[in-house]
Chains A and B, each alone.
Chain A
Amino acid sequence: MQVEMLNVNKSFGSNKVLEDVSITVNGGEIYALLGENGAGKSTLMNILGGVLPLDRGEICINGESVSFEKPADSQSSGIAFIHQELNLINDLPVYENMFIGREPKKRFGQLDHKKMIKETEDLFKRMDIDLDPKALVGDLDASYKQIVEICRAMSTNASIIIMDEPTTSLTDTEINRVFGMMNTLREQGVGLIFISHKLKEVKRICDRYAVLRDGGLVSEGYVEDVTINDIARFMVGYDVRTEPLIRERPLGEEVLRIENLTYEQQFKDINFSIKAGEVVGFTGLLGDGRSELFQSIFGSKGVSSGAIYVNDKKVSTNSTMDAIKNGIAYLPRNRKENAIISDMDILENSAIATWPQYSKFGIINKDIHKQQFEKQRDKLNIKMDKWTDNITKLSGGNQQKVVLSKWLNTGPKILILDNPTQGVDVGAKEDIYDIILDLADQKIAVVVLSSEAQEIIRVCDRTMVMYHGTVQGELKGKEMTDHNIMTLATGGELELEGEGKPLWKQEQ
């Protein structure tokens, strides 16, 4: 099957989102649709999925013009759209999720469970997937959920599947699993549209690519003909750095020391120490316990045993308030769920953690918060209109910077950043790396939690690699490579040649 989108135009009010975009996707290929946030990828795919109507242009399937007025039209033409937020029901088993909305029924309207299980099993066998159809979707990890979504699309006989950032919340092993599935589909003649920000993945699995920028198609071609740098340049319109950013700087006293920290099943016997001005990475696969560890240090989870020392003084972190008083700040992962207060404006989102600090008799001192925010806005290069605008009006990168400004306002000694560049586009990502290094120069101890090895390698002085709630190993300077990190993250041991050599010497 071949899908063509010809000269597609789309505006929202006076805002032109797509201008004369034409793409062609064939069966049996993986087609990467790339671009920064706001470039128009989602709009284009929503048009193809029948979610949005197009203003001008044409959609052709196998050369015949079609028009989609609702998602069902697109689906019946053989196009399946797997949204980034998966549409699965956690409380139902896999096989029922496969047939939602089109459940096979017996004569008196009861669900035909046997048939659903049988068909699901057959499909899994055909796709070479090792998964129990009776498992509860809520018990599956993120990659299997993605796979269930793909299988559901397959079972509707889709010939073109749109996948919107399927790998964002997946670990490397899980990504491999999904990619294996995508390869199988390609061999079976299915066309896949793969939307992603991860260019390495595009290079690895895609056949052709298209890059959108500001609503226009800027480049299209075969992936093998271009480099990652080329694609990144097409996306942002200028050259993008990929070199390591770590630089030499004097380190101060130890600010944070963790001794034998344990919490139930989440992590056990964690020991480490961090000096002022150091950037330390924590990486691993999903379920390695790094987020839980630092949420406990921040006082939001709990600790069963062990001790936390800040500036060599034992502290209790039973609550997030305690942690903030001790100079610990934590920028959480999943910004939308954990950090953004969507009913509040930009200023309030930036001031929320420091309200009590500056208030008198419980009355908020708005002037101080405004001053502080203006300073942060310039320093962090936050692009915004008015501070009274709702936080959700900002792009992902700018939202993240507002959340960061909230923590910088508290004047932290230790700044923990959990997946700081999640859902942030390439330009803002680089900004955030620069900010991290500037903060380190200002003697703040920065902890970067990330599942992206490249991110760790580029900004961190050293990194701990976690595996099943323990620190599997520590890598310094040049030892930090994709290979070493992956080996430790999957529970392997490393024979390092002598002591790990840091890129520079510590100040005595």
Chain B
Amino acid sequence: MEAGAVSVRRGFVEWFKDKWQNDPLFSIFIALIIMVILQTLTLGFDFNSFGEWFQTWVNNWINILRNNAGVAIVALGMTFVIMTGGIDLSVGATLVATGAFAMTLIDIGERGLFAMIGITGVPAIIFTMLLTMAFGYLLGSLIGVTVTKGLVPPFIATLGAMMVFRSVTQHFMQGYNPRVPTEFLQIASLKIGNVMIMPIIYWLLIAAIMYYVSKRTTFGRQIIAVGSNEKGARLSGINVDKVKLRVYALMGLLVSIAAIIQVSRVGSMDFAGAGRGLEMDAIAAAVVGGTSMMGGRGFILGTVYGVLIIAVLNNLLNLFGVPPLLRDAFKGLIVIAAVLLQRKKII
């Protein structure tokens, strides 16, 4: 009996060691679990009033997930971009550009495009969503073409795009305050069982699709091949330019979805401030989730963990009452710590 227990325990230790050393996502997952436990304890777990505590806990989590849905969706696209060995600094500016584009279409005021040509109600909402996504895809494609055909390094191409997109958006939206109809707000604010849960559903749905794409599809595997060995991929008959172009286009598409969610949550957008730092948050989530900045190695699931770790950290800092200006320091340390943890697994 005793010996059995010991061997089970040893078996567990071996399993844990093996997992820790060989499964890059395992240490990230453990880190997440520890943080969630910490957070749970901080929320004052009390067995006697379990029902009440549970309600608070769930509400807290729904808030966390909903508030981070936008960043999370962008981070998924960023993971693909980084896996090809690239980077996209323009996501914040693209968010503003696509957000402004959506608002111009759906505006029920005088300058609203659809209102002018007499499209209203549900068709207007659907067309707005589709056209905005198409616009995001187009902006992403522009970057993709600059990177692949123009041979401009992704850092430079997207740095330039970042300035162009935001500046042009701010100029054209100057003094213009589009009014978003309340029906449009339902995209994000629709309540299911009295809970605003739609952004979370979009996020998880997109994460599931991206996970499947990265594991099972030609496109997903070609991304890894391109990031791991671009020359080898080309000489294996992979259209490297097409893969990269589609990755940046997909990035633009996902940013436009995040923009739609943001516009439909609050009904407005601050074109000067919205999306500032979004690229850094997305990159941080991907990196914490085990994606290598060198390309080739990356995990969609890891990025989901990464977003959660950073979100829970923010939540914890909030609960602990850490001064707001000091919070970014913790975020920065977590990013570095995550890479230190994973470092040994990169052979």
Binding site for B on A (CB under 8 A): 298, 300, 319-321, 323-324, 330, 332, 337-344, 348, 352-353, 355-356, 359, 362-364, 366, 406, 410
Contacts and interface: CB of A to CB of B under 8 A. Distances in A.
Interface in B210-238: 216-219, 221-222, 224-225, 227-229, 231-238
B290 interface: no
A407 to B, nearest CB: 9
A300 B225 contact: no
Enumerate the 9 nearest inter-chain pairs by beta-carbon distance, A residue then B residue, closest first: A343-B228, A343-B296, A355-B218, A324-B237, A320-B237, A362-B217, A353-B237, A352-B236, A341-B228
A340 B229 CA distance: 8
Contact of A406 (B217, B224, B231, B236): B236
A355 B235 contact: no
A352 B229 contact: no
A406 B216 CA distance: 19
25 contacts: A319-B239, A320-B234, A324-B237, A332-B235, A338-B229, A338-B235, A339-B236, A341-B224, A341-B225, A341-B296, A342-B228, A342-B296, A343-B224, A343-B227, A343-B228, A344-B224, A344-B225, A352-B233, A352-B238, A353-B236, A355-B221, A356-B218, A362-B219, A364-B217, A364-B218
B233 A341 contact: yes
B222 A355 contact: yes
A339 B225 contact: no
A352 B219 CA distance: 11
A263 B30 CA distance: 56
Given A320-B238, A321-B237, 16 more contacts: A300-B234, A320-B235, A330-B235, A332-B232, A337-B229, A341-B228, A341-B232, A343-B224, A343-B228, A352-B233, A353-B237, A355-B221, A355-B222, A362-B219, A363-B218, A410-B237
Contacts of B227: 343
Interface centre among A339, A355, A359 (most CB of B within 10 A): A355
Interface of B: 216-219, 221-222, 224-225, 227-229, 231-239, 296-297
B297 to A, nearest CB: 5
By DSSP majority rule, is chain B's interface helix, strand, loop, or mixed? helix
B82 to A, nearest CB: 13
B302 to A, nearest CB: 14
B227 to A, nearest CB: 8
A342 B224 CA distance: 10
Interface centre among B231, B233, B236, B237 (most CB of A within 10 A): B237
Nearest to A348: B221
A298 B236 CA distance: 10
Nearest to A319: B239
A230 B122 CA distance: 85
A298 to B, nearest CB: 8
B221 A337 contact: no
Interface centre among B224, B235, B239 (most CB of A within 10 A): B235
A344 B228 contact: yes
A120 to B, nearest CB: 34
Contacts of B296: 341-343
A338 B225 contact: no
Nearest to A361: B217
A338 B297 CA distance: 18
B237 A359 contact: no
Contacts of A320: 234-238
A6 to B, nearest CB: 33
B235 A321 contact: no
A410 B232 CA distance: 16
Nearest to A330: B235
B224 A363 contact: no
A155 to B, nearest CB: 34
Contacts of A366: 216
Contact of A363 (B217, B232, B234, B238): B217
Interface centre among A298, A330, A342 (most CB of B within 10 A): A342
A331 to B, nearest CB: 9
A294 to B, nearest CB: 11
B218 A359 contact: yes
Contacts of B229: 337-338, 340-342
B110 to A, nearest CB: 44
B232 A338 contact: yes
Contacts of A339: 232, 235-236
